[in-house]
Chains A and B, each alone.
Chain A
């Protein structure tokens, strides 16, 4: 299977002197296409930091990130911006939909940035809404959707640009456990149907159990990396 994410000895420190924190300490990890990986670990262990570095939202103090073979450290600001747009989908803990745009428009916006024609945008929006089980709710604003529905829209938004990887930082943390599990099932389904690579962080055991690979971080170091069959 092809490697889509590779990190080499990633180091990320915050602050300086006495109060300096090493959020990540020489983290090397390889993730292959189609994997459904959960990053776990206690609060402050470096989960968010790792996802940010993989997604090119932050820069490491040392080490490299390769996405589909390209070293993202070598990219200029706008190249990286375009790379994120075309190759990475993000899902955030607090959904982070644009409040003034409807569900459909939230999904459409990223495709607009990609320069996709209106016709294709429309059909793909419908397709995505159906995939996450929100047919007929496209014209609702985020405020008129439940948390679980908003997060489904976020999943659809992340998928709309047809990225290689989807990164999700605690996507279920704001949802009750039933809704959270249902969302994860949607993600899992997309992962299997479309061979989409997912990397997500979580605290929740019920969620971890659904991953086929568990990467456990503690104090910025990988303590455990196990593949399992679910």
Chain B
């Protein structure tokens, strides 16, 4: 097509100027992609850390248990919930849970403790509980030789109560029926560290916890992992439809404060990048406008020989978008290895920090269509818009400028 040839050669006409314009656009694009990659990468990392540590991608509760947990707000019709979960393609794994608080005694020490009743076999399909065992071995449902049920306790609790593997721990709490619950358990493992969210936790096999709290076979929560973690909100909605009697919440609702922080951090990055793109394109606008004014006579000639004004708008549009596209592609080629390295290897941080017992020590990038094409689309759109004022300026050039005698 002659018009593309014309546009292309017009770009090459002022090589140095086009190159500088292209560099600014390529630079803007690279910065945009890089910041998006790191931002998406770090947040995904953090979200993975807590969803795989305990939250899961979606949770199911009775009424408002998530906000106001009460021991009696239990899910009783477990069969129907579990058949829905098992039957849903989008669910990768699920596990039932029971919660309560208790007083814990070890020797002459005492502490507050949180009881987590978990399904010994299902829980590892949702969380990294097995990997969090730092001492001893992951427990099972079998009582020990003396008939005591096994428990795993958080590192914080172990420190306070000065307990080790094989020691006994006494828990006192109240059952759902108001009765006093107390029992002795034997420690099979210590999990996490002193900053983990479950540092004061006591993990019990779920049936043991149910008996201890007198809640029959009922549970307080189902946590589940989505097959596609990015589609967890959609999964929550579809499960909610199937389970109208219960409350299904994506992690975004469970960790609402965190989610808001994350969103506003992302928004402030969009804003910064928008500003950078804006600055880049103010320069581009200026250059394109200049190139149009320089070609006043030429456009006058084109108008004289019968070029419609719209033809000139089209020409400037093609020139601008073509240059932007080429710049973005060049930027992509340069930034691709960088974000691939950040995604696959990542930058080791000098100071590792601990998030809920999981160490966060590498700055990771994200490598996805979104990170590459969102900035690309945004910048191409901006280029298209920015070509309009110079294009309209060119269209207004009078055909008699071609004579150029005055």
Contact between chains at A85 and B305 (CB < 8 Å): yes
Q: Across the interface, do A108 and B2 meet the contact criterion of CB distance under 8 Å?
A: yes
Q: How far is the CB of B8 from chain A (nearest CB, A)?
A: 9
Cβ of B390 under 8 Å from chain A: no
Residues of B at the A interface (CB closer than 8 Å) are: 2-3, 5-6, 9-10, 12-13, 297-298, 301-311, 398-400, 402-405
A69 → chain B, closest Cβ, in Å?
A: 19
Binding site secondary structure of chain B: helix
B5, A90: Cβ atoms closer than 8 Å: no
Whether the Cβ atoms of B403 and A92 lie closer than 8 Å is: yes
Docked-complex contact A52 and B400, CB < 8 angstroms: yes
Question: Is there contact, CB below 8 Å, between A57 and B306?
Answer: no
Asked whether, in the complex, the Cβ of A98 is within 8 Å of the Cβ of B301, the reply is yes
Contacts of B306 in A (CB 8 A): 81-86, 88, 110, 113-114, 161
Residues of B within 8 A of A77 (CB): 309
The reply to whether B6 and A81 contact each other, CB–CB distance below 8 Å, is no
Q: Is the CB of A98 within 8 A of B298?
A: yes
11 A-B residue contacts at CB 8 Å?
A57-B399, A58-B398, A78-B310, A82-B306, A84-B305, A85-B306, A96-B298, A100-B10, A100-B12, A112-B2, A169-B403
Q: CA separation between A96 and B309, bound complex, in Å?
A: 18
Determine if A94 is an interface residue (Cβ-Cβ < 8 Å). Answer: yes
- B5 / chain A contacts, CB cutoff of 8 Å: 101, 105
Known A-B contacts A84-B304, A90-B304; A98 and B403 likewise in contact (beta carbons under 8 Å) = no
The answer to whether B6 and A96 touch across the interface, beta carbons within 8 angstroms, is: no
Give A111 to B123 CA distance when docked, in angstroms.
Answer: 74
Q: Decide: B402 and A90 in contact? CB cutoff 8 A.
A: yes
CA distance in complex: A140, B400 (Å): 27
Query: Within 8 Å of chain B (Cβ to Cβ): is A48?
Result: yes
Chain A CB within 10 Å, residue with most, of B10, B306, B403: B306
User: Chain B contacts of A57 at CB under 8 A?
Assistant: 304, 398-400, 402-403
Determine the residue in chain A with the shortest Cβ distance to B13. A100
Interface positions, chain A 100-138, Cβ under 8 Å from B, are: 100-101, 105, 108-110, 112-114
Q: A113: which of B298, B309, B311, B403 is its contact (CB, 8 Å)? A: B311
Name the B residues within 8 Å of A114 (CB-CB): 306
Other 7 A-B pairs with CB < 8 A, given A90-B402, A101-B6: A48-B405, A57-B402, A96-B402, A98-B6, A99-B298, A108-B2, A110-B305
Q: Are B402 and A92 in contact (CB under 8 A)?
A: yes
Task: Kindly provide the distance from the CB of A131 to the nearest chain B CB, expressed in whole angstroms.
Answer: 18
Question: Across the interface, do B307 and A81 meet the contact criterion of CB distance under 8 Å?
Answer: yes
C-alpha gap A82/B304 in the complex (Å) = 10
In-complex Cβ contact of A81 among B10, B13, B308 (8 A): B308
Chain B residues with CB below 8 A from A169, complex form: 403, 405
A180 within 8 A of B: no
* Minimum-distance CB pairs A-B, first 10: A85-B306, A100-B9, A57-B399, A57-B400, A84-B306, A96-B301, A81-B308, A58-B400, A90-B304, A52-B400
Q: For residue A92, which residues in chain B have a CB less than 8 angstroms away from its CB? A: 301, 402-404
A170 to chain B: closest residue by CB: B405
Q: Name, among B12, B13, B402, B404, the residue most crowded by chain A CB atoms within 10 Å (CB to CB).
A: B402
CB distance from A166 to the nearest CB of B (A): 11
Q: Which residues of chain A are near B398, meaning CB under 8 Å?
A: 57-58
Q: In this complex, what residue of A is CB-closest to B3? A: A112
Q: Are B305 and A101 in contact (CB under 8 A)?
A: no
Q: How far apart are the CA atoms of A52 and B401 in the complex, in Å?
A: 10
Q: How far does the Cβ of B322 sit from chain A's closest Cβ, in whole Å?
A: 14
Q: How far is the CB of A72 from chain B (nearest CB, A)?
A: 12
Contact of B2 among A78, A81, A84, A109 (CB under 8 A): A109
Is A55 interfacial (CB-CB < 8 Å)?
yes
Q: Which residues of A contact B308 (CB under 8 A)?
A: 78, 81-82, 113
CB neighbours of B302 from chain A (8 A): 98
Q: Are B305's CB and A90's CB within 8 A?
A: yes
Instruction: Report A95 CB to chain B, min CB distance, Å.
Output: 10
Complex Cα–Cα for A110 and B305 (A): 7
Instruction: Closest A residue to B307 by CB, please name it.
Output: A113
By the criterion CB–CB under 8 Å, are B403 and A52 in contact?
A: yes
Contacts of A94 on B, CB cut-off 8 Å? 404
- Contact B305–A157 (Cβ < 8 Å): yes
Chain B residue contacts of A83, Cβ below 8 A: 306
Chain A residues contacting B12 (CB-CB under 8 Å) are 100
- For the complex, what is the distance from the CA of A212 to the CA of B10, rounded to whole Å? 42
